[in-house]
Amino acid sequence: MSADAATITVVVDSVRHQRVTGFGAAACWGLMAPIEDVNIIKLLYGEDSPVGLNIMRMEISPNLIGNVTVPWDTPYDWHGYLPVVKEAKARGAIIFGTPWSPPGEYKTNGTPQGGNSEAQGYQRGELKASSYSSFFPWLNTFLAYMKKNDAAVDIVSLQNEPDWWVDYSGCLYTPQQLHDLVKKYASRLDRKTYNVRLMNAEPLGFNPEYSDIMLDDPETAKHIDIIAGHIYGHEPLGNMAKAAKKALAQGKEVWMTEHSVNPRGDADGTVDLPTWHEEILFAEEVNECLLAGGSAYVYWYMLAHWSFVGSGDKTIQPGNDYGKLLRRGYVMSHFSKNLPGSTRLDTKASVIVGTNSAFQTSAYIKGDSLIVMAIDTTANAHKLRVHLPYEVTSGEWILSTEEAVCRRSDIEMTEPAKVVMLDLPARSINTYIFKINRVESGVDEIKSDCEMKPVDDALYDMQGRRMNSGASLRQGIYIKNGKKIYIK
C-alpha cells in the first residue's frame, strides 16, 4: 500500500445498541420448492461450515395437514421441508416459518392464490372475518406436525408481504386487520407446548405502519416478539430504521427477512454471476441492516446463481455449478461467522457513512473480542485509523477482494493499544477482530439458577441461540450482556 494513502478515522464507542442474533436464507429454490439436498445445508450451516449461517426460513404452505397431495403436492407440503430443517437444527439453526397464504378455505377468494390476474378474476385474497379464530389454531397444527417429525420450528410469522397483491400464493392484510387478528386471537398460539415466538407480518418495503400499530397497543405488543420486513424498493436506513426505533425501545428484535439481488436477465443463458462491485454492494446492504438496528439478516433463496450456492443454471460466465459455494457465500461469512451473539457498538467516521456510501463501517463486542467491519468501494487504497473503547492486545484480519476472498492474517501489535492503524485495500471487504486486554479472562461465573430478564438481558449460547426463561441449561459458556459467562 502506498505510504501516502489517505487515512480514514473510525471512532468506536462503548455505547451499545442491538444484539445480533444471526444470518440466514430461505430453504427454497427453483419455483420456490423446498431444497431437499441436505448437502446444501451442510455447506452453509454450523460453526464448522465455510459460511456459518444460523437462521433458516421456510414456507408454511397453505395446507390443513402435513401430508397431503392436493392442491400443494410433494414437495410443497410441510413434509417437503423436513430433511433440510432437521439438518439445519442439528447444526444449531433457528427455524422460522412464514405463510404466503393461509388455506384457501379461510380466504375471501377461496384459494391460496393472491387473486391478481385475469384467470383469478382480480379478486383480492384476504382472510375471511369468520376465519380469524381459525388462524392461530392452524399455525398450532403446523407446529405440531413439525415437532412430531423432529423438526420443531422456533418462530412463526403472521404473513409474507401482506401489502403486495400477487397472482401466486398470497394474502392481503391492512395493518388494522393484522392488529385485530393478533389482539383478539394471538392468545390461541400455543407458545408453551411448541416453545415458539411470534413474528409480525413482513411487509414488502418494511412499511412501519405494520409494526407501529402493533407496538402502540399494549394488547398486541405483548404478543409480538420480532418485528420483520423486506427491503424491496426501500433502503435499510429508511423504513427499516424507522420501524426499528420503536421496536428496540420496547425490547423487540428487528429482522430483515427477505431480499435478493438478481443481476441481468431471467432466461437460462442470459443471467450471470454477480460482479465484484455487486458483491461489495451486497456486503454494504447487510451492514446497513445492522446499522438500521437489525438483529438478523435473512437472504432470499440460498441456492441460486445470485446467492450462496450454485444452482446449475447456465450463466454467461462459468462457475454456477450445482452445489458449489459461490463468492457471495464467502462475502456473507464475514458477518455470519463472526457476529452472531455480539452487540453492536456506536461508531463515528471521518467520512460519510450511509446508503451505498463509498466507505462503510460498523463495530461489535462479543465476549473478549472487539470486531470492526470496514467496506471500501473505491479504486484507491486507504489507511484506517481505529480508536477503540478498550485496550486490545492482538488481532486478526479477514480480507476479501476481487482476487481472493476470506484471506486471514495476523494484525501485528508490539504492545497493547486503544488506537490501531490498519490497511484498507481498494474495493475490499474487511473484518478486523481484536482481543480485549482484560485483567481476567472475560468469563464471569454465575449460578445456574440466574434470573432470566427481558429480551435485551437474555442468555444466549455461543451459536447465538436465545435460551428460554426457565430452560434447563447445560454446563458451559454462554453470552449475557455481551460478555461470556460460565454456568456450572
Res 448: pLDDT: 28
What per-residue confidence (pLDDT) applies to 65? Answer: 77
Percentage of the chain beyond pLDDT 70 is 85
pLDDT of residue 271: 86
**Confidence (pLDDT) at 72:** 59
Q: Give the Cα separation of 351 and 360 in Å (integer).
A: 9
Q: Which of 58-72, 101-115, 169-183 has the lowest mean pLDDT?
A: 58-72
* Number of other residues whose CB lies within 10 A of the CB of residue 30: 12
Mean pLDDT value of segment 243-270: 87
Q: Which domains does the chain have, with CATH numbers?
A: 7-15+343-436 (2.60.40.1180), 21-336 (3.20.20.80), 443-487 (no CATH)
Least confident among 176-180, 222-226, 232-236, 261-265: 261-265
| Amino acid symbol at 479 | I
What is the model's pLDDT at position 261?
78
Q: What is the pLDDT of residue 262?
A: 72
Q: Write down the pLDDT at residue 64.
A: 85
In tens, the pLDDT along 364-378 reads: 999 999 999 999 999
**pLDDT tens column, 332-363:** 999 999 999 999 999 999 999 999 999 999 99
For the ranges 185-199, 386-400, 401-415, 436-450, the lowest mean pLDDT is seen at 436-450
User: For 457-465, what is the mean pLDDT?
Assistant: 61
Q: Evaluate if residue 90 carries a pLDDT over 60.
A: yes
What value does the mean pLDDT take over residues 374-385?
98
pLDDT for residue 299: 99
Q: What's the pLDDT at 266?
A: 63
Residue 427 has pLDDT above 50, yes or no: yes
Q: What are the C-alpha distances in Å from 275 to residues 10, 44, 57, 200, 326?
A: 28, 21, 26, 35, 12
- Mean pLDDT, residues 68-96: 86
Which one has a higher pLDDT value, 454 or 210?
Answer: 210
* Per-residue model confidence (pLDDT) at position 264: 62
pLDDT at 450 over 50: no
- Using 50, 70 and 90 to split pLDDT, how confident is the model at 172? very high
C-alpha cell at 154: 422456533
Residue 421 is predicted with a pLDDT of 98
Q: What average pLDDT does the chain have?
A: 91
Q: What is the pTM of this model?
A: 0.90
Per-residue model confidence as pLDDT tens digits over 275-334: 999 999 999 999 999 999 999 999 999 999 999 999 999 999 999 999 999 999 999 999
Q: Tell me the mean pLDDT in the region 82-98.
A: 98
CB 229 within 8 A of CB 265: no
Give pLDDT, residue 484.
59
Is 442 in contact with 483 (CB distance < 8 Å)?
A: yes
More confidently predicted of 64 and 487:
64
